[in-house]
């Protein structure tokens, strides 16, 4: 199953790259049913001004509409980053069969890193989880995105400092 996982994860990475280009946190995913991609999505939190517009949530809606069912029992989701608690919870509620992700999320991951919602025995459904598929490529997108954000933030701070200094000079300060 390794090669097919890489092929599907490559499709999720294409979605993450779309998010990157749109200045969204670069997370992408696809949902597969009977070896066919039935849903694709990437983060759209900024565009939609919606904190729930994670790639997984958008793909879930698309997949359930495609199958005309609230259950995704025989589906697998391929996502570039370990799902957060919101997304992992929604995937449990949708009864998805498998989660395959690239990079772990040590700050918010809910498939074993911070929490393990997907394997919680108190819940009515557990999901098989596989991690580390094309991990380097998935994590490098995130690292590049946040590096660019830090550079942009520092440039903005420097510009503001220069403006303040110029205003003080003009006022004789």
pLDDT, tens digit (0-9, with 9 covering 90-100), for 115-137 = 999 999 999 999 999 999 999 99
Task: Give the active site residue among 6, 11, 21, 56.
Answer: 56
Output the CA torsion sign for 26, 141, 30, 132: negative
Q: What is the pLDDT of residues 71-86, one digit of tens each?
A: 999 999 999 999 999 9
pTM of the model: 0.88
- Tell me whether residue 56 is one of the annotated catalytic residues: yes
**Integer Cα distance of 41 and 57 in angstroms:** 9
């Amino acid at each position: 199953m390794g090669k097919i996982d890489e092929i599907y994860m490559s499709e999720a990475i294409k979605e993450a790259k779309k998010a990157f280009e749109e200045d969204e946190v670069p997370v992408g995913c696809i949902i597969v049913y009977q070896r066919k991609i039935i849903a694709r999505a990437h983060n759209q939190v900024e565009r939609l001004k919606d904190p729930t517009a994670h790639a997984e949530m958008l793909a879930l809606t698309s997949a359930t509409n495609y199958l005309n069912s609230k259950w995704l029992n025989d589906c697998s989701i391929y996502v570039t980053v370990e799902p957060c608690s919101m997304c992992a919870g929604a995937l449990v509620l949708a009864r998805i069969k498998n989660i395959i992700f690239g990079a772990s999320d040590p700050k918010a991951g809910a498939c074993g890193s911070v929490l393990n919602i997907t394997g919680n025995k108190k819940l009515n459904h557990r999901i098989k989880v596989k991690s580390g598929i094309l991990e380097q490529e998935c994590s490098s997108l995130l690292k590049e995105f946040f590096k660019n954000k830090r550079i942009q933030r520092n440039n903005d701070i420097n510009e503001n400092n220069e403006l303040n200094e110029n205003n003080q000079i003009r006022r004789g300060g």
